[in-house]
């Protein structure tokens, strides 16, 4: 049984590795991301997704001229969906909260996630390459952070860039006063 | 960094309702005209109170009734404590004890006697406690000690435990199954010993999935397999399907287990071949997880599947003259409400009746919900919406009356003899007491709290008594049906 499990795990890991190797060369050829200007400009856009059990959130865009690469960010609260005692403690919990359906293709994780802070809230961030047709270079960032048992889940979709290079821009945006005011309202604080 | 929102201002204005204005103006705890007061009588129709026990002021979850010799014993699981009282005093010992399991003699339901409290895990509210209980006689289990009575309970989110409660006033720990990241409900077949446990095995991507155990000898538990939805298992990637809430098995003869996933959102009813689940390949690969599944029904994402209660084959009155399919295989699904005072974050949770005659294509055919306007329940305080039903299949009520808890609307009695047209035939909303804990929402950033009953879980016994326990620490109410509801059950007039 252990041998079977080992073989199965090897195929699983091999499959993930194969997908990553398929897309990593494209990302490597993409070249360095243009350093973002000091004043990225985020504009609210229309929520593009169909209604589901979590309802609509808010959508924002930062154009390439402002952020170095076009970023589309989708954020919404998931009320009562997080453990108030452990928070977003690990990648499993982050992925349970994540909106993978927003990625328009299977997301393959680029390594492990890491902790982040948004104001008083702790959370976690992980980056993904999106496996699309024609060796698409889309990638994504999934972020979840919590206030007690309520979670905020943000998904950033970007084309043709290394997602970890824009993490600081995204985290800075989430920490903006206006975003935190919206979070306060959305969570009923 | 610049930030520009076209419709920014609408998210900065709150328009509090009248209740919120009153709440904001009152000092030291707002209570509106809609909130019950201590001293108000219970509200009832065709149900009446027989007996009461305060359960030491502990927040209560699953009651299980067991006939032991010539006694009836209630085993009641508890949530964790409150912020104010994390470790209530047990008056029987004089010691502070984390909420665990209450054991109450209900042989005389009018005078229940509190026998013992088994402490649980440290924690408050959803953390800690010992929420779940199931009981089997040793003489019924294939390899149990015939002198023993076994209580299967959870220990917070950390473990499942089995206790010998042959002497319910002096329980003894038999075994602990630990190393879990969460637990919740369970189902134990006393005739086979097979148990289905809601567990959080650390390697899985979800807090709650299924462990299948052979507990035919409770002292020597044997794990059979792990089970869940594909995408939850170790090594899977991408979206994580919604977590398990509970399951009910119909045993080897009917050969089905009914799983409910997603307690208040994204509900899924899963109908599983019990034999294939127990005997099939055990490695949690997607194919092996799909192999025992006969049918699945995804509910509207706005509702969940807290309880999936199989009613089995029922003759539908309106179809009784039909030469084909006059009997239908029915399942009752109960959502769980999680949000106080009908606030943002949740649609109305209720009860659904599913025709699973074609097991590969179950379909909702009816629903039942309490009229909010009948009691202004959204303003009373706490949760309003369904939670849990009785799960007994004893003939006194099975396929005739179902009892469903509705938080601040108490417990509701539903005539389910025609599951295509369920009808409410009774209710009981217990009175609050000084022990009843408050429930709060935020109004303009401030806590606005109300005190209201939060009828949480319900079970029945073979004699026809109904046991309702309160999540807000009020205690145990033992009820009986009266009038037309009693006639439906076929009980003698009282």
Per-residue confidence (pLDDT) for residue B90, from 0 to 100 = 98
Sign of CA dihedral B62, B56, B174, B462: negative
> Coil, strand or helix: which one is B422?
coil
Per-residue confidence (pLDDT) for residue B494, from 0 to 100 = 85
Q: Are B82 and B454 in contact (CB under 8 A)?
A: no
Name the minimum distance, in Å, from the CA of A28 to any CA of chain B: 23
Q: Who among A9, A85, A100 is closest to B127 (CB)?
A: A85
Mean local confidence (pLDDT), B11-37: 46
DSSP B444-456: TTEEEEEE---EE
Interface test with A, best of B239, B306, B347 (most A CBs within 10 A): B239
- Which residue from B89, B194, B182 is spatially nearest to B134, judged by alpha carbons? B194
Beta bridge mates, B121: B129
DSSP A98-142: --GGGGSS-EEE-S--EEEEETTEEEEEEEEEE--GGG--EEEEE
ipTM: 0.74
CB-based contact A16 B237, cutoff 8 Å: yes
What is the set of domains in chain B, with CATH numbers?
8-489 (2.130.10.10)
Interface test with A, best of B20, B203, B208, B237 (most A CBs within 10 A): B237
Per-residue confidence (pLDDT) for residue A133, from 0 to 100 = 66
- Comparison of pLDDT for B101 and A189, the residue scoring more: B101
**How many beta-carbon contacts under 8 Å exist across A and B?**
103
Q: Using 50, 70 and 90 to split pLDDT, how confident is the model at A151?
A: very high
- Mean pLDDT for chain A? 84
d(Cα A27, Cα A6) in Å, to the nearest integer?
Answer: 31
pLDDT tens digits along B397-407 = 999 999 999 99
CB-based contact B3 A42, cutoff 8 Å: yes
- Comparison of pLDDT for A16 and B186, the residue scoring more: B186
Name the minimum distance, in Å, from the CA of A79 to any CA of chain B: 5
Minimal-distance CA residue of chain A relative to B283: A5
| pTM over cut 0.80 | yes
Minimal-distance CA residue of chain A relative to B263: A81
Domain spans, chain A: 2-186
**B97 has pLDDT over 90:** yes
Q: Using 50, 70 and 90 to split pLDDT, how confident is the model at A84?
A: confident
Name the minimum distance, in Å, from the CA of A32 to any CA of chain B: 23
CB-based contact A96 B3, cutoff 8 Å: no
Please state, in angstroms and as integers, the Cα–Cα distance from residue B142 to each residue in B139, B146, B217, following that order.
8, 10, 7
Per-residue confidence (pLDDT) for residue A27, from 0 to 100 = 45
d(Cα B443, Cα A177) in Å, to the nearest integer?
Answer: 21
d(Cα B282, Cα B233) in Å, to the nearest integer?
Answer: 12
**B278 has pLDDT over 70:** yes
Give the CATH number of domain A2-186.
3.40.1000
User: By a Cβ cutoff of 8 Å, what residues of chain B touch chain A?
Assistant: 1-8, 11-12, 14, 123, 125-127, 204-207, 235, 237-240, 243, 264-266, 282-283, 285, 301-302, 338-339, 343-347, 441-442, 445
- Mean pLDDT for chain B? 93
Mean local confidence (pLDDT), A124-141: 85
**A30 has pLDDT over 70:** no
Q: Who among A39, A92, A182 is closest to B205 (CB)?
A: A92
d(Cα B451, Cα B77) in Å, to the nearest integer?
Answer: 22
B407: Cβ contacts below 8 Å, ≥ 6 apart: B337, B382, B383, B384, B385, B387, B453, B454, B455, B456, B471
CB-based contact B345 A41, cutoff 8 Å: no
Q: Who among B8, B205, B344 is closest to A79 (CB)?
A: B344
Mean local confidence (pLDDT), A133-158: 90
**A188 has pLDDT over 90:** no
Minimal-distance CA residue of chain A relative to B127: A85
Q: Which of B28-42, B120-134, B145-159, B479-493 has the lowest mean pLDDT?
A: B28-42
% of chain B with per-residue pLDDT over 70: 93
**Six-digit token pair at B69?**
């010799």
**Six-digit token pair at A9?**
């795990």
Per-residue confidence (pLDDT) for residue A181, from 0 to 100 = 95
Contact status of A40 with chain B (Cβ, < 8 Å): yes
């Amino acid at each position: 049984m252990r041998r079977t499990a080992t073989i199965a795990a090897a195929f699983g890991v091999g499959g993930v590795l194969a997908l990553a190797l398929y897309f990593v060369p494209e990302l490597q050829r993409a070249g360095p991301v243009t350093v973002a200007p000091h004043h990225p400009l985020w504009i609210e856009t229309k929520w593009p997704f169909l209604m589901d059990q979590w309802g609509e959130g808010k959508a924002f865009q930062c154009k390439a001229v402002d952020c170095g690469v076009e970023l589309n960010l989708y954020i919404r609260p998931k009320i009562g969906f997080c453990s108030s005692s452990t928070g977003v403690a690990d990648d499993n919990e982050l992925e349970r909260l994540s909106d993978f359906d927003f990625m328009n293709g299977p997301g393959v994780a680029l390594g492990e996630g890491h902790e982040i802070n948004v104001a008083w809230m702790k959370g976690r961030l992980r980056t993904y390459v999106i496996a699309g047709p024609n060796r698409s270079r889309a990638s994504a960032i999934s972020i979840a952070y919590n206030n007690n048992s309520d979670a905020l889940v943000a998904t950033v979709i970007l084309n043709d860039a290394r997602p970890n290079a824009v993490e600081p821009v995204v985290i800075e945006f989430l920490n903006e006063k206006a975003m935190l005011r919206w979070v306060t309202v959305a969570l009923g604080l | 960094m610049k930030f520009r929102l076209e419709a920014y201002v609408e998210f900065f204005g709150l328009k509090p309702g009248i209740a919120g204005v009153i709440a904001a103006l009152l000092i030291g705890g707002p209570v509106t005209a809609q909130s019950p007061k201590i001293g108000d009588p219970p509200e009832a129709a065709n149900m009446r109170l027989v007996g009461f026990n305060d359960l030491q002021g502990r927040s209560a979850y699953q009651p299980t009734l067991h006939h032991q010799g010539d006694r009836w014993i209630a085993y009641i699981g508890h949530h964790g404590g409150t912020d104010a009282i994390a470790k209530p005093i047990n008056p029987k010992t004089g010691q502070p004890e984390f909420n665990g399991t209450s054991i109450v003699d209900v042989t005389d339901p009018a005078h229940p006697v509190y026998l013992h409290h088994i402490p649980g895990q440290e924690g408050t509210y959803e953390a800690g406690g010992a929420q779940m209980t199931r009981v089997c006689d040793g003489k019924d289990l294939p390899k149990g000690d015939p002198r023993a009575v076994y209580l299967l309970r959870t220990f917070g989110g950390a473990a499942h435990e089995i206790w010998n409660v042959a002497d319910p006033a002096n329980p003894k720990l038999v075994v602990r199954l630990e190393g879990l990241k969460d637990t919740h409900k369970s189902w134990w077949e006393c005739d086979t010993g097979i148990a289905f446990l809601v567990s959080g095995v650390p390697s899985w991507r979800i807090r709650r999935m299924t462990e299948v155990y052979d507990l035919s000898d409770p002292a020597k538990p044997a794990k059979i397999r792990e089970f869940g939805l594909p995408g939850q298992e170790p090594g899977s990637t991408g979206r994580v399907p919604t977590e398990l809430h509970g399951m009910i098995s119909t045993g080897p003869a009917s050969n089905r287990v009914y799983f409910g996933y997603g307690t208040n959102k994204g509900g899924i009813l899963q109908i599983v071949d019990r034999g294939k689940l127990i005997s099939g390949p055990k490695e949690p690969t997607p194919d092996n997880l799909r192999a025992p599944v006969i049918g699945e029904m995804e509910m509207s994402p706005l509702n969940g599947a807290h309880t999936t209660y199989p009613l089995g084959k029922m003759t539908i009155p309106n179809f009784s003259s039909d030469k084909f399919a006059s009997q239908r295989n029915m399942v009752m699904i109960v959502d769980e409400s999680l949000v106080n005072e009908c606030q943002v974050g949740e649609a109305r949770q209720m009860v659904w009746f599913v025709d699973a005659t074609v097991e590969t294509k179950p379909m909702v055919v009816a629903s039942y919900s309490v009229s909010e306007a009948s009691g202004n329940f959204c303003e009373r305080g706490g949760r309003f919406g369904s939670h849990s039903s009785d799960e007994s299949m004893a003939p006194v009520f099975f396929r005739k009356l179902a009892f469903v808890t509705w938080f601040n609307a108490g417990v509701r009695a539903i005539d389910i003899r025609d599951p295509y047209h369920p009808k409410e035939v009774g209710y009981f909303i217990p009175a609050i007491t000084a022990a009843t804990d408050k429930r709060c929402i935020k109004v303009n950033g401030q806590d606005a709290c109300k005190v209201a009953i939060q009828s949480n879980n319900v079970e029945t016994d073979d004699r026809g008594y109904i046991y309702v326990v309160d999540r807000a620490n009020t205690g145990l109410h033992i009820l009986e049906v009266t009038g037309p509801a009693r006639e439906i059950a076929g009980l003698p007039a009282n």
